Structure 1
Amino acid sequence: MTLTSPSGSTVAEAEAFLDAHPEIEAFDIVLHDANGIGRGKIIRRHELLGMFKSGRHLPISILGLDICGEDVHETGLIWDEGDGDRRAWPLPGTLRPIHASNPPRGEVLMCVYNLDGTPMSSDPRHALQRQVEALAAEGLHPAGAFELEFFLLANERGPDGKMVPARDVLDGRRNSKTDVYSVDQLHGMLPLFNDVYADAAKAGIKAETLISEFAPGQYELTLHYREDVMQAADDLLRLKRMVRYHARQHGVTACFMAKPNEDYAGSGMHFHVSMLDDAGKNVFIEDVEGQYNPTILHALGGLRATMGESMLVFAPHANSWRRFASNSYAPVSPTWGVNNRSVALRIPAGDIRARRIEHRPAGVDSQPYLVAASVLAGIRHGLAHKMDPGPETTGNGYTDASDAPPIPVDWRSAIEAAKTSAFLKAALGEDMHRTFCAIKAAEYARVMRTVSEVDFDLYLHTV
């Protein structure tokens, strides 16, 4: 049976791909859940056309899983629905060859719809699409890019139980120094990164600058700025999977935890965003350089005002909250500033034509669709209410938070703030909000009932 794809995908796209790639025999079909985890199936070549014609049935429970892939009944997506099927459809333009492997493989991103073709509103991608469409109705179109920070670690932990930076894949040299921005440091991992760049090019992803970051074994890959913010989020999720795959191929572990080592900086997922009008003009650009226009200031005001209610999206896991510390390059309050990396909301230096906001709170462990949806909703809130961002932070933002709106200080507080937030419910949509908060509450309960090595270390012989 051939149906009309609500995602806009066409059978012609699949036919053209198969004609162009006779060598590809298998495809990863991938959708991303509330934690950003890729879930789906591996299908064979002969199944691809049928999927493009009729979609692919998947259980609704796939969107109600926790970080361990276990059902969270409080989402209402498990037995309340009889774990019935919904239909996943391919996303146009995402059918690509991936992985320089033998045999070659393909990948296509999917999105979930109800059986009548309406969006299944607990799919995180639909939450972002809602915000993109709301802005379009207001004559605005978000553009942006994410930065990907991560660690490359040895597969085995050290004698003290801590993670150890991976040896260089080029020659096995040990890597134990921070060496921030060291070019020579990058050379030892070039075989791995060359594979990542080649894979990204096959998938149509423009991976750009590579940086040795502010911790031993930490790296950053930047992505090309997209005029389609949805594509920017797709790029980030696909690039994470590529890095993880090629790290395994080279015998090391790619780590996307926000804070794998308490002694060093954590890993962020900074989101750069600007707004274009219907004519394609960046509305954040000021007439006189340095005299910022009301549009970007109101956007900053909205982001500051809504940051506290959105922190669960930006820091969704227990480990996420270890990243926030003074003098750590992770913001601790909703400050804003110009050319200042100690603030949460930064206007970067550079060409005025590229004027944008760098949103810095999110960790690399966060879900980019939900991060972007929350940020865009915050910008819309600021523009609608003409919100004043308050005075710019100059100098050390870690000591300048006196007038900043309050934000949660830990995971539990963030969960409670998110649950009761009318703003976040509107930003994500009621179903996605319920699903996300239920999953986080279940994960919190899992962590809190787990007796850790820290418990034994602190209390075994002392209480």
Structure 2
Amino acid sequence: MSPPAYQPQHPEVAAFLQQHPEVEAVDLIVSDVNGILRGKRVDVRALDKVYADGVNLPGSIFAADITGDTAEETGLGFEIGDADQICYPIPGTLRIAPWHRRPMGQLLLSMYDHQGAPYFADPRHRLASVLELFLDSLGLVPVVAVELEFYLIDRERAADGGPQPPLSPATGERERKTQVYGITELDDYSAFLDEVDAACRVQGIPADTAVAEYAPGQYEINLKHQDNALAACDHAVLLKRVIRSIAQRHGMYATFMAKPYADLPGSGTHIHVSLLGPDGGNVFADGTPEGGPLLKHALGGLIETMAEGMALCAPNANSFRRFREETFVPLTPAWAHNNRTTALRIPAGPDHARRLEHRVAGADANPYLLTALVLAGIHHGLTQTLDPGAPITGNAYAQLEPSLPLTWLDALRALDRAAVLPAYFGTDFLKVYLANKLTEREKFRHHISSLEHDWYLLTV
């Protein structure tokens, strides 16, 4: 006698399975401080229990460094017995994962402690706490859009062990040319891009435009702006998973490494922000191309907090390879209108769409922490009525000396000495983040690279 058919009780589970009765299992996903997705895979029949009781995961997932090891200096490992916390589903994120061979779904989770409070080390909660400040103290709603750059690379490494561009699906030739905004490049990879678009549609990810970027195999996919910054970052995290998964189906890898090639442009994450007032209008718009006074105060806050937040924009050793002159990667806190040589840009466009663009971070940044950083800077500038100074005209590289922390250690020290950000992120979270990254840096510092062997092994 066969067992009775599963009858889901939770409305969200029931609706999902009515639409996708073939699904057998679901990935339960939490984004760690590095933006790496961690969690569990469960049978679909366990979903009601997940929604009712949550699922246990150790808080030490937020102490995991880029290699997956627990940074014990965070205090989240042996010191507390690697204790479990409780993760609950994020409403509206139960979706089909169409790239799997087996019928699969996925569900985003967020972590809470055993008293039901948001777990302090969860990056999503750090963003949520910053958003609360906007509504509680300012009555404003941030509108956020995320732009992600990435490279498609061949599964086979180059002779030197590094990455190499893929073979073009259209020509079979290795990609070597650079045609920024090239339509041919979009045509050549249309099967990949079309499947990404289809996966985004079924997952409710509001992907907008795709463009070929400044290097062979480099692309950018933009997400539509939305007035729910948490959802905007959920979509950014899930878009990365879509891109990686679909790339593998097409015989390639996708990398969000900030600087995979020494002689080609790096990949960034750009955050666009405007603010809605109580009447639903854009408070950055005042009928002029310059924008209103609130826009200037927001820029002032971002400039004042940019150096101390650099370790969140550039979270690892490779991140700092991006920061070179004349590469459209900022080296100095400065702003301008319609100018990509500065850290903060006011894009051209109609008054109702007036917004700022934060251009500092690499593609390797955690979207939740990066957006929290940007919004914290804006909130600080608005509440302190800060002045950003005059905008830059022309090439910022030719006018300004580099002044941001441009090494990993300098950036971590700047965050450790931060005067503004602890009030937004919490000292406990920053302690965990810094311990995580300092442990990772120590590992990296003791590694001997092949370049060192090439230069020094037989010459000194």
d(CA) in 2 for partners of 1:454, 1:425: 39
Amino acid at match of 2:423: A
- How far residue 171 of structure 1 moved from its aligned partner, in angstroms, is 5.1
Aligned-residue CA RMSD in angstroms?
Answer: 1.4
Asked if the contact 2:339/2:394 (under 8 Å) is kept, the reply is yes
d(CA) in 2 for partners of 1:47, 1:173: 47
Task: Find the counterpart in structure 2 of residue 459 from structure 1.
Answer: 456
SS at 2:309's partner residue? helix
Q: 1:229-240 counterparts in 2 under 5 A? A: 229-240=229-240
- How far residue 20 of structure 1 moved from its aligned partner, in angstroms, is 2.4
- How far residue 430 of structure 1 moved from its aligned partner, in angstroms, is 2.0
SS at 1:445's partner residue? helix
d(CA) in 2 for partners of 1:160, 1:291: 49
Amino acid at match of 1:176: R
Amino acid at match of 1:199: A
Task: Find the counterpart in structure 2 of residue 319 from structure 1.
Answer: 318
d(CA) in 2 for partners of 1:17, 1:50: 15
Task: Find the counterpart in structure 2 of residue 91 from structure 1.
Answer: 90
Q: Which runs of 5+ in 2 are unaligned?
A: 1-8
- How far residue 170 of structure 1 moved from its aligned partner, in angstroms, is 4.5
1:413-457 C-alpha deviation (Å, 9 max, x unpaired): 001111121322222222221111111101110110001112112
Amino acid at match of 1:348: P
Task: Find the counterpart in structure 1 of residue 37 from structure 2.
Answer: 38
Asked if the contact 1:146/1:269 (under 8 Å) is kept, the reply is yes
SS at 2:307's partner residue? helix
Asked if the contact 1:169/1:250 (under 8 Å) is kept, the reply is no
Task: Find the counterpart in structure 2 of residue 409 from structure 1.
Answer: 406
The worse-fitting range, judged by mean Cα deviation, of 296-305 and 16-25 is: 16-25
d(CA) in 2 for partners of 1:152, 1:94: 27
Task: Find the counterpart in structure 2 of residue 58 from structure 1.
Answer: 57
Q: 1:345-364 counterparts in 2 under 5 A? A: 345-364=344-363
d(CA) in 1 for partners of 2:455, 2:332: 30
1:325-379 C-alpha deviation (Å, 9 max, x unpaired): 1110111111100000000000000111111110000100000100011111111
d(CA) in 1 for partners of 2:453, 2:430: 36
SS at 2:76's partner residue? coil
Q: Label 1:291 to 1:345 Cα distance change in 2 as closer, same or farther (>3 A).
A: closer
Amino acid at match of 1:222: N
Asked if the contact 1:100/1:195 (under 8 Å) is kept, the reply is no
Task: Find the counterpart in structure 2 of residue 5 from structure 1.
Answer: none
The worse-fitting range, judged by mean Cα deviation, of 163-172 and 383-392 is: 163-172
Asked if the contact 2:99/2:245 (under 8 Å) is kept, the reply is no
SS at 1:194's partner residue? helix
d(CA) in 2 for partners of 1:291, 1:212: 30
Asked if the contact 2:99/2:249 (under 8 Å) is kept, the reply is no
Is 1:26 the counterpart of 2:25? The answer is yes
d(CA) in 1 for partners of 2:111, 2:199: 26
- How far residue 254 of structure 1 moved from its aligned partner, in angstroms, is 0.5
Asked if the contact 1:169/1:192 (under 8 Å) is kept, the reply is no
d(CA) in 2 for partners of 1:42, 1:304: 42
The worse-fitting range, judged by mean Cα deviation, of 425-434 and 95-104 is: 95-104
Task: Find the counterpart in structure 2 of residue 213 from structure 1.
Answer: 213
SS at 1:308's partner residue? coil
Asked if the contact 1:15/1:49 (under 8 Å) is kept, the reply is no
SS at 2:305's partner residue? helix
SS at 1:270's partner residue? strand
SS at 1:423's partner residue? coil
- How far residue 175 of structure 1 moved from its aligned partner, in angstroms, is 1.1
Asked if the contact 1:96/1:107 (under 8 Å) is kept, the reply is yes
SS at 2:236's partner residue? helix
Task: Find the counterpart in structure 2 of residue 267 from structure 1.
Answer: 267
Is 1:241 the counterpart of 2:238? The answer is no
Asked if the contact 2:165/2:175 (under 8 Å) is kept, the reply is yes
Normalised by the size of structure 2, how large is the TM-score?
0.96
Asked if the contact 2:273/2:355 (under 8 Å) is kept, the reply is yes
d(CA) in 1 for partners of 2:400, 2:219: 29
Task: Find the counterpart in structure 2 of residue 4 from structure 1.
Answer: none
d(CA) in 1 for partners of 2:170, 2:62: 40
Task: Find the counterpart in structure 2 of residue 283 from structure 1.
Answer: 283
Task: Find the counterpart in structure 1 of residue 364 from structure 2.
Answer: 365
Amino acid at match of 1:195: E
Amino acid at match of 1:316: P
Q: Which runs of 5+ in 1 are unaligned?
A: 1-9
Asked if the contact 1:125/1:369 (under 8 Å) is kept, the reply is yes
Q: How many residues align?
A: 451
Q: 1:142-291 counterparts in 2 under 5 A? A: 142-170=142-170, 172-287=172-287, 289-291=288-290
d(CA) in 2 for partners of 1:393, 1:104: 53
The worse-fitting range, judged by mean Cα deviation, of 65-74 and 97-106 is: 97-106
Task: Find the counterpart in structure 2 of residue 304 from structure 1.
Answer: 303
